[in-house]
Amino acid sequence: MHPQIPPTIQKYICLVRSGHPLCEVEVFDAELFQQQTHIVISAGKSGHVHGRAETTLLDEIPPLNVKMKVPSFVLAAMLLRDTDHVLTIPSVAARTLATEFGLVCLPCAINLPGFTVAQYWHERFLHDPACAWLRTQVHRLFGDAGQV
């Protein structure tokens, strides 16, 4: 297997609805993060990479401030549009959903474990022009350093 395109570290950021009071805050710190109500993506015991972040979020957020647990990033974003909750998800998903649902991205105020995203392919496809083009497009669209 050949990783020709460098892996990226996916980081977490927060989403809120447009007009949310946090959009006006100068410093979004851990204390303010914990005071908010949240929608948490529940990976359960599926082994999904998000499970580590879910565990950290549930440790950091007071239980009464976890208003919903849902299994889907898209469902969470849809619910977020009409609430004052905060959603914390990987940055590429967050930016895509922010565009789709008119949400606002904010830096994550707590330290969440990131995860590596890498592409792998068999050596017989290393020099195939179509495969190289596809790998480049995937990296261009989804490879980032987690910037808000």
pLDDT confidence of residue 144: 58
Nearest CA to 100 out of 75, 120, 125, 67 is that of 75
Amino acid at 93: A
The pLDDT assigned to 114 comes to 81
Nearest to 32 by CA among 90, 93, 107: 107
Rg (C-alpha) for the chain, rounded Å, is 17
Q: What span, in angstroms and rounded, lies between the C-alpha atoms of 111 and 93?
A: 18
How, if at all, do strands 8-10 and 66-70 pair? unpaired
Per-residue pLDDT reduced to its tens digit, 13-58: 999 999 999 999 999 999 999 999 999 999 766 666 778 889 999 9
Write down the pLDDT at residue 148.
46
pLDDT of residue 88 exceeding 80 = yes
Read off the pTM.
0.80
CATH of 11-112, one of 3.40.190.10, 3.40.50.920, 3.30.460.10, 3.30.420.40: 3.40.190.10
DSSP 8-state assignment for residue 65: G
Report residue 1's pLDDT band, with 50, 70 and 90 as the boundaries: very low
> What pLDDT score was predicted for residue 77?
96
The answer on pLDDT for 130 being more than 60 is: yes
What pLDDT band is residue 99 in, cutting at 50, 70 and 90?
very high
pLDDT at 139: 75
- Residue 123's pLDDT is 83
pLDDT of residue 134: 87
CB atoms within 10 A of CB 26: 4
Q: Could you give the count of Cα atoms lying within 13 Å of 17 in the half-sphere of its Cβ?
A: 15
Q: Where are the domains of the chain?
A: 11-112
For residue 115, which amino acid is it? Answer: F
pLDDT band at residue 4, thresholds of 50, 70 and 90? low
Integer Cα distance of 115 and 93 in angstroms: 13
- The dihedral through the CA atoms of 88, 58, 50, 12 has a sign that is positive
Average per-residue pLDDT for the chain: 86
